[in-house]
């Protein structure tokens, strides 16, 4: 497979722990255009281990674009230069021989660095725990036509539900706002009858938690949606804003 | 009151206030621009002075002036607060930024553009509002508002400042107009594209008209 025919210069963020100030290290790596970006990092890490140095810590799990763990800001863009893909799905053929690639972690107060490129995204978990669920067991799947849901609504809910919680939206946003993520979760649940019942309570609880975690306020630049690997649309933020004001005016 | 406290305590509440006051200011711009555009009748300011006198004496319009200043102050206070708040949400900044790959520069510069607008507004209010409301230059009939405009814009400096103000306004609105609807939860397959093109048209036409006023007066296109 890998005929290594790309010579790359990497500038990678190295940071011991949350309190360390951190710095960039320069590395040289040979990669094949067929490798994924993470495989290229595997090569780098093998190289570092052979040299007796510390490998670069980075998050990954599924390596097929569904878990949301991989998190790298590549030349200033979360998940790199391609639209609609995660870092693990990004191929080295998106770069050219001789390129210098700068790799940084997601940067936001609400995502403190654990080590190197690995950040703590448990703020997202706490937002979900605040209300991003349906609190009663809705049972087994019922007959397809027992609860009528128009196809467009089902599609919209599904589109929102494809959010993998990676945090690229926060990372791309100049305000480090989490509203695309929260909007996706709120929309997905508010559109379907099972989630609708708790919509008001949920949106207020999730927004309160989002604010408590220190994410910024959306200014509608659209950077989040442009960089989102699942291309969650900006309309989920409008839905979030609408659901929130409705709940507030009802006294929630 | 407690019911509305979220407009000052939560991020989305604050944004709602931004959006509402922003749209309110846009409605004011529409009126302001229409009245001022009367100078283009080129009738020595006759139509314009009539319109200006109506705006200055009608009690409904005069009381709206308080609402306007209230709205403007809320917008400025909230805007500056959010600007700082949002900048603080990322203490450690990126060393490489690729903002232009995912957003327009003016959508990322609302704080700067707003501040430029604020500076312009200070100059602008000093030039006309203070003169017309707090001195008797106009009411005594010493000069008309039109003559006051001619005098101010005889100088090139104010003309340059006003044109720069209009450019800031144009970009502030290019993002702000459609952004306000999104903030207020209005996003729709068919209506949003209409809102976006209306916003672009509005920002460009209104800013061009406003900018044409000092320029036309300075060059004596308008007598
Ligand atoms: C005639 C004057 C003005 C008009 C018509 C106007 C209009 C708007 C509109 C429509 C928005 C979008 C609101 C939203 O996205 O929800 C906005 C945002 C903003 N305005 Fe203004 N504005 C004006 C003056 C100012 C001034 C003087 C400042 C001074 C600091 C300012 C600062 C801001 C900021 C920082 C934002 C972005 C806030 C955010 O999106 O969170 N604006 N403006
Ligand atoms: S909205 Fe997109 S960018 Fe944000 S967490 Fe979900 S998948 Fe990732
Ligand atoms: S490693 Fe799972 S999405 Fe990239």
- Count of domains for chain B: 1
How do A113-115 and A118-119 pair as beta strands?
A: antiparallel
Question: Tens digit of pLDDT for each residue in A182-232?
Answer: 999 999 999 999 999 999 999 999 999 999 999 999 999 999 999 999 999
Domain assignment of residue B52, yes or no: yes
Domain assignment of residue B84, yes or no: yes
Burial class of residue A112 in the structure, from the number of CB atoms within 10 Å of its CB (0-12 exposed, 13-18 middle, 19+ buried): middle
- Give the residue whose CA is nearest to atom 32 of ligand 1: B114
Candidates A77, A78, A172, A174: best to mutate against B (most CBs of B within 10 A) is A174
Q: For chain A, which residues make up each domain, given as ranges?
A: 6-114, 122-249
Q: How far is the CA of B172 from the centre of ligand 1 (A)?
A: 7
**B90: which chain A residues are within 8 Å (Cβ-Cβ)?**
107-109, 174-176, 216
Band of pLDDT at residue B223, cut at 50, 70 and 90 = confident
Domain assignment of residue B83, yes or no: yes
Q: What is the mean pLDDT of residues B24-40?
A: 96
Q: Are A30 and A131 in contact (CB under 8 A)?
A: no
Strand A100-104's sheet: what is its strand order? A23-31, A6-14, A100-104, A73-74, A77-78
Q: Who has greater pLDDT, B139 or A191?
A: A191
Looking up residue B149, the CATH number of its domain turns out to be 1.20.1300.10
Band of pLDDT at residue B107, cut at 50, 70 and 90 = very high
- Of B6, B85, B92, nearest to A248 by CB-CB distance is B6
How do A100-104 and A6-14 pair as beta strands?
A: parallel
Candidates A112, A220, A229, A239: best to mutate against B (most CBs of B within 10 A) is A220
Burial class of residue B201 in the structure, from the number of CB atoms within 10 Å of its CB (0-12 exposed, 13-18 middle, 19+ buried): exposed
* Weakly modelled stretches of chain A, pLDDT under 70: 1-4
| pLDDT surpasses 60 at B80 | yes
A120 touches chain B (CB under 8 A): no
Q: Are B176 and B110 in contact (CB under 8 A)?
A: yes
What does the pLDDT read at residue A74? Answer: 98
Q: Are A220 and A234 in contact (CB under 8 A)?
A: yes
Indicate if ligand 3 lies below 6 Å from the C-beta of A121: no
A174 touches chain B (CB under 8 A): yes
| pTM listed for this prediction | 0.94
Domain assignment of residue B168, yes or no: yes
Band of pLDDT at residue B1, cut at 50, 70 and 90 = low
Measured CA to CA in angstroms, residue A58 lies from A10, A16, B176 at distances of: 15, 12, 38
Residue range A6-114 forms a domain whose CATH class is: alpha beta
Question: Tens digit of pLDDT for each residue in B149-188?
Answer: 999 999 999 999 999 999 999 999 999 999 999 999 999 9
Domain assignment of residue B118, yes or no: yes
Domain assignment of residue B188, yes or no: yes
- Percent of chain B clearing pLDDT 90 (strictly above): 86
Residue range A122-249 forms a domain whose CATH class is: mainly alpha
Distance from CA of A110 to the nearest CA of B (A): 8
A166 is written with which tokens?
Answer: 């990676």
Domain that holds residue B201: 7-88+105-218
What does the pLDDT read at residue A1? Answer: 47
The span from the CA of B15 to the CA of B77, in Å, is 12
Q: What is the mean pLDDT of residues B59-84?
A: 96
């Amino acid at each position: 497979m890998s005929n290594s025919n790309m010579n790359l210069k990497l500038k990678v963020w190295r940071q011991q722990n949350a309190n360390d100030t951190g710095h960039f290290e320069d590395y040289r790596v040979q990669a094949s255009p067929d490798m994924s970006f993470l495989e290229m990092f595997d090569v780098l890490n093998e190289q570092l281990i052979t040299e007796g140095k510390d490998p670069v810590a980075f998050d990954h799990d599924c390596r097929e674009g569904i878990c949301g763990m991989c998190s790298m800001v590549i030349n200033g863009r979360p998940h790199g230069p391609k639209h609609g893909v995660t870092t693990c799905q990004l191929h080295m053929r998106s770069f050219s021989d001789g390129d210098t690639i700068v790799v940084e972690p997601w940067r936001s107060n609400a995502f403190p660095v654990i080590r190197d490129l690995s950040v703590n995204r448990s703020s997202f978990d706490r937002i979900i725990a605040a209300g991003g669920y349906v609190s009663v067991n809705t049972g087994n799947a019922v007959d397809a036509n027992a609860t009528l849901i128009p196809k467009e609504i089902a599609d919209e809910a599904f589109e929102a539900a494809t959010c993998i919680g990676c945090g690229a939206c926060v990372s791309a946003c100049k305000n480090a706002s989490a509203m695309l993520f929260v909007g996706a979760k709120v929309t997905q649940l508010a559109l379907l009858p099972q989630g609708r019942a708790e919509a008001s309570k949920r949106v207020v609880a999730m927004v309160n938690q989002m604010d408590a975690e220190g994410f910024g306020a959306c200014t509608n630049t659209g950077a989040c949606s442009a960089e989102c690997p699942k291309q969650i649309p900006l309309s989920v933020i409008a839905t979030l804003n609408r659901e929130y004001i409705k709940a507030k005016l009802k006294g929630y | 009151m407690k019911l509305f406290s979220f407009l000052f305590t939560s991020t989305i509440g604050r944004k709602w206030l931004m959006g509402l006051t922003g749209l309110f200011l846009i409605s004011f711009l529409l009126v302001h621009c229409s009245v001022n555009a009367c100078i283009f009748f080129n009738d020595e300011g006759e139509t314009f002075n009539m319109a200006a006198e109506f705006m200055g004496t009608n009690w409904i319009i005069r009381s709206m002036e308080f609402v306007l200043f209230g709205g403007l102050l809320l917008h400025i206070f909230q805007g500056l607060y959010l600007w700082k708040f949002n900048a603080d949400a990322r203490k450690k900044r990126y060393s490489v930024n690729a903002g232009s790959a995912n957003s327009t520069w003016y959508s990322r510069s609302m704080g700067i553009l707003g501040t430029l607008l604020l500076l312009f507004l200070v100059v602008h209010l000093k030039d006309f509002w203070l003169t017309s409301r707090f001195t008797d230059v106009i009411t005594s009939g010493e000069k008309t508002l039109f003559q006051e405009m001619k005098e101010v814009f005889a100088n090139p400096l104010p003309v340059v400042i006003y044109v720069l103000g209009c450019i800031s306004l144009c970009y502030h609105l290019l993002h702000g107009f459609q952004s306000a609807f999104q903030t207020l939860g209005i996003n729709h397959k068919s209506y949003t594209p209409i809102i976006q093109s209306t916003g672009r048209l509005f920002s460009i036409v209104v800013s061009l008209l406003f900018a044409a006023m000092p320029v036309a007066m300075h060059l004596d296109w308008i007598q």
